[in-house]
Amino acid sequence: MSDLKQEKELLAKVTDHFKDRVFDTQIQRERRVWAKCHAKDVKEIMAYFKNDLGVDFMPMVSGQDCGENYEVIYHLSAGGIVFNMTAVVPVNNPDLDSVTDFYPGSANMERELTDMFGINVTGIPEGERYPLPEDWPQDSHPLRKNWKPEDYKEVK
């Protein structure tokens, strides 16, 4: 068994830097670290990961509807370690900054947050919507828990 040294060091760097702005931390197992932050801090945190920690790979961005909040998980890959930084986005004010300044490869995954959850992500480079069709209603977000397939009316 690993003593989780690398995982602990990585998490300590992040919590030392951001103090209580990063919370609910967990080292789940070897190579899996979890933490939460507020939506407003996302840009600063991602800048820290990219510029200070040298984490250059973000394989996935996931959204999820947790009732009062949406959660957006930035799955960052630091070597083999996946650091899952979860941003808490309030449902009544679903605004989020784009992290494409630091991780340009995440543009389509951020567009997915807009289409599927209705999270307003500002700062994504100009481009076509993804993944829903051009004529899909702007206010219909299929991955919200209260969305049902019968809500969708075909656009003529």
Partner 1 sequence: MPKITVPLGPQHPALKEPGRFMLTLDGEIVDGASLRLGYNHRGIEKAAESRSYLQNIYLIERVCGICSHSHTTAYVTAVEEIAGVNIPDRAKAIRMIIGELERLHSHFLWLGVGAHEIGFDTLFMYSWRDRETVLDALEMLSGNRVHYSINTLGGVRHDITAEHVKKLEEAVKIVEERTAYYIKLATTESTMIARTKNVGMLPKEVATKLNAVGPLARASGVGRDMRKDDPYLLYDKMDFNVITTDSCDVFGRLYVRVFEVLESCKILKQLLAAIPEGPVTAEMPKIIPAGRAVARYEAPRGEDVHYVLSNGKGNSPERFKMRAPTLANFESVAYMLKGGYLADVPIVIAAIDPCFSCTDRVTVTSGGSKNEIDWNDLRLKGIEFYKEKGIDFSKL
Interface region with partner 1, contact rule CB under 8 A, candidates 2-10, 16-24, 87-95, 144-152: 144-152
Show Cβ contacts of residue 154 under 8 Å, excluding neighbours closer than 6 positions.
none
Segment 82 to 101, residues that bind partner 1, using CB under 8 A: 82, 84
| Partner residues linked to 87 by β-bridges | 37, 72
Q: Encoding tokens for residue 154?
A: 């075909």
Question: Is 131 a residue that touches partner 1 (CB under 8 A)?
Answer: yes
User: Shortest distance, CB of residue 95 to partner 1, whole angstroms?
Assistant: 21
Query: Cβ closer to partner 1: 19 or 149?
Result: 149
Q: Is 132 a residue that touches partner 1 (CB under 8 A)?
A: yes
Instruction: State the nearest-atom distance from the C-beta of 91 to partner 1, in Å.
Output: 15
Contacts 24+ apart (CB under 8 A), 54-58: 55/83, 58/99, 58/103, 58/105, 58/106
Number of H helices, E strands in the chain: 3, 7
Contacting partner 1 (CB under 8 A), which of 35, 39, 46, 58?
A: 58
Q: Does 15 help bind partner 1 (rule: CB under 8 A)?
A: no
Name residue 103's amino acid: Y
CA–CA dist 147, 44 (Å, integer): 32
Asked whether 147 and 141 are in contact (CB, 8 A), the reply is: yes
- Candidates 60, 101, 137, 138: give the one binding partner 1 (CB under 8 A): 60
**Residues near partner 1 (CB under 8 A):** 28-29, 31-32, 34, 56-60, 62-65, 73, 75, 77, 79-80, 82, 84, 103-109, 116, 127-133, 142-143, 147, 149-150, 152-154
